[in-house]
Structure 1
């Protein structure tokens, strides 16, 4: 980063508001689908299947959203690296809001037949495409506005939005299931949280349009260099910032893909699959839903706390510590769910989501952004992080449900899966070098930094 840019980098509170509130809306939308896949979609869009098979099919459409995320990361990353960060933040929020509202209006299988699950899958794909650029965009705009000593803290704030969105979505479903009969909930009640997205999206767009482009992006000169649109498709792809990131930073890209494995798998096992697991056991899901909401509220404090801690002790020890917590908690967690003690279930969710996942969420955003220079940062982090999410998170609920069937409804296979993902994070982060004191680069010609 140039000395002039460093002097001009003054953090603006409205940037924080735009990033956090926008991410809250995006992840409210995205998380709604996960809960609905467990409680609603397996009944109203896949009603002819065995209950557990219906859950697998519903989670299959859930996973489609994750498969779309690397595509969204590549598309919005290219636009973010060549046309600016602000435009991407507006576009992703609008696209997500439209898709979520449409899900709330979608007819059921009983009304339009097979077209219903097909349209549901399409809308989930659009959600995933938008999410592919959203979280990265919020992270990048905060990172490029943050003073170096606050990078860990400030780049952890989009994860607060993720937690807040989860809190709101889970709370909305808990309220709907608590106030309505099962018949009313499945008939129309589940649609209300989806339709509320339209109001939240409009306010989010108003907030984000007030944000200015980052000084670091302007100083990089990237906006003055438009990508060439001549040549074959392969030649044009080779000129993208995504392709450039793979050429210049292959090891760093692999580090980003593997580093988030524990957080991705842990969240979707403990925070999503656990609901379906309880239903399969014939257990009440009320304690889990309320516990997930409590853990999401606690993360509003623990995520930035771990981000600030990573500014003091480094990104690596905080991230590795979080992965080890998830590893140690895997087997006890499901034993506690089986025991049906509400207080113990809440404690288990606080340990897994409020501590283990939060440590990784708080420390890794700055770590990822510090691995790349400004010219390719959006594309590199967007694609690599979303690829990691697909491979280790998006397929986790489907894989966990399949493992539950293969192991004759025993949770042993799921615990092994979590253990493997946790160790992948530990090994990947341990092989990287610490980045918290690393200077960022704005020059397109600056060589890649070894990690």
Structure 2
């Protein structure tokens, strides 16, 4: 058996431009993706799903919101296969372009009053495209940083794409706060809401320019060299079943079934917490007849705070381990769920900001900052992109993407009481605690399957380009 060398000797000196390109691209993508969440609560329930009870319209709007998440595992599988066979960089360019085009198109989409039922249908289709692109984006940024990072900095550096998601949320929420503040309600619903979506075109172009400087990772190049050095095989067309069986996606499930399930469950608290406290809370305030300005401004402020707290928790996981930081964050979310909505009912701005800081700035940030490195460390290079992309996106769909719609439905089911929503958050937090507690600590551990070149060729070389 041939030893391939340690991670420390195979990685070049970390280049800051890699972090800049990855984070900025993720910022642009998540600006696009997060716009929809706020618009679903404030706009789409009125202009694309009119003629129903406002809360029912919101549930329908969040249904199209959830469609984007249902598309994410498909995008994770497709772009994961491309990332593991053709390279990480190309995926990051493709996902950014796809997301930008879909978001700009939403900004140009006619309303229900203009084209009837075709409007919500097209809106749903564009949201699907957004979700498909998002399925490869965050995973790609995480992987390219992980494979360029010194082992002792993995937690810190792989948490940086989460800064991009926070910055994107900050920009999107700020754009809506600005437009709602400057325009009358009629003007905002008529045309003002489109402005943040149309701005995506310029941001996407600049993001593509930034990402062109991303280098391919040394780990992927080494694996490709090993595969290309294998025996030559004929490139005759293969049946679809055979191509699926030989894919990296199937290989990930075959070789790492336990780890895949861990990734699916471990992010439950972070996913549900983000979309309940950061998105559904706006709907809750509207249902109570409260002003949403304090929430929107608070979400923007906390998104700025997370630029510090997320990498801080990532760095902390480099010192004390991924598991304790992740479990601690989930426990904070569990404990804060009921007080959070009590504070929202009080309507005091400073109280709302503090509640958002505790839930999103501390609890959710701790889970979010510690888990990217944890997930990547569970898998070897040949299937890492596919494994993390599929499992993490499945978890996001089940525990995050459906959260706003489920929370709105629970609010109706419990006769506008928040009890059901609090129970939901408690269950998701408990799932994270149990799943992570059952997993092994990955900080400082050797990467799986790095010991032999033979194991690296477990995936059929015919899947290589």
For residues 338 and 8 of structure 2, the distance between their equivalents in structure 1, rounded to whole angstroms, comes to 49
Relative to 1, partners in 2 of residues 1:324 and 1:62: Cα closer, same or farther, differing over 3 Å?
same
Find the residue that maps to 1:107 and give its secondary structure: coil
Moved more, 77-86 or 44-53: 44-53
How far the C-alpha of 1:174 sits from its partner, in A, is 0.5
1:189 aligned to 2:198?
A: no
What pairs with 1:56-71 in structure 2 (closer than 5 Å)?
56-71=59-74
How far the C-alpha of 1:10 sits from its partner, in A, is 1.2
> What are the Cα deviations for residues 334-362 of structure 1, in whole angstroms up to 9, with x where unaligned?
00000001000000000000000000111
Give the match for residue 144 of structure 2.
141
For residues 157 and 227 of structure 1, the distance between their equivalents in structure 2, rounded to whole angstroms, comes to 42
For residues 374 and 117 of structure 2, the distance between their equivalents in structure 1, rounded to whole angstroms, comes to 44
1:22 aligned to 2:25?
A: yes
What pairs with 1:284-299 in structure 2 (closer than 5 Å)?
284-299=291-306
Give the match for residue 125 of structure 2.
122
> What are the Cα deviations for residues 37-69 of structure 1, in whole angstroms up to 9, with x where unaligned?
000000000111211110000000000000000
Query: Which of residues 431, 444, 449 is equivalent to 1:437?
Result: 444
For residues 379 and 447 of structure 1, the distance between their equivalents in structure 2, rounded to whole angstroms, comes to 15
1:320 aligned to 2:323?
A: no
**TM-score normalized with structure 2 length:** 0.94
For residues 356 and 404 of structure 2, the distance between their equivalents in structure 1, rounded to whole angstroms, comes to 17
Relative to 1, partners in 2 of residues 1:232 and 1:51: Cα closer, same or farther, differing over 3 Å?
same
CA contact (8 A) 1:374 1:444 kept: no
> What are the Cα deviations for residues 71-128 of structure 1, in whole angstroms up to 9, with x where unaligned?
0000000000000000000000000000000000000001111100000000000000
CA contact (8 A) 1:227 1:240 kept: no
1:12 aligned to 2:19?
A: no
Give the match for residue 407 of structure 1.
414
CA contact (8 A) 1:22 1:93 kept: yes
For residues 380 and 310 of structure 1, the distance between their equivalents in structure 2, rounded to whole angstroms, comes to 22
How far the C-alpha of 1:445 sits from its partner, in A, is 3.4
How far the C-alpha of 1:234 sits from its partner, in A, is 2.2
Query: Which of residues 255, 263, 276 is equivalent to 1:269?
Result: 276
> What are the Cα deviations for residues 172-219 of structure 1, in whole angstroms up to 9, with x where unaligned?
000110110000000111000000001110111011111110001001
1:52 aligned to 2:55?
A: yes
Give the match for residue 338 of structure 1.
345
Give the match for residue 101 of structure 2.
98
Find the residue that maps to 2:454 and give its secondary structure: coil
Alignment gaps of 5+ in structure 1: none
For residues 173 and 285 of structure 2, the distance between their equivalents in structure 1, rounded to whole angstroms, comes to 16
CA RMSD of aligned residues (A): 1.6
CA contact (8 A) 2:260 2:387 kept: yes
Give the match for residue 169 of structure 1.
172
Find the residue that maps to 1:446 and give its secondary structure: helix
Query: Which of residues 305, 309, 321 is equivalent to 1:302?
Result: 309
Alignment gaps of 5+ in structure 2: 458-465
Relative to 1, partners in 2 of residues 1:282 and 1:229: Cα closer, same or farther, differing over 3 Å?
farther
For residues 164 and 227 of structure 1, the distance between their equivalents in structure 2, rounded to whole angstroms, comes to 47
Find the residue that maps to 1:372 and give its secondary structure: coil
Moved more, 219-228 or 115-124: 219-228
1:355 aligned to 2:358?
A: no
Number of aligned positions between the proteins: 448
What pairs with 1:367-446 in structure 2 (closer than 5 Å)?
367-440=374-447, 441-442=449-450, 445-446=454-455
Give the match for residue 107 of structure 1.
110
For residues 330 and 321 of structure 2, the distance between their equivalents in structure 1, rounded to whole angstroms, comes to 15
1:241 aligned to 2:248?
A: yes
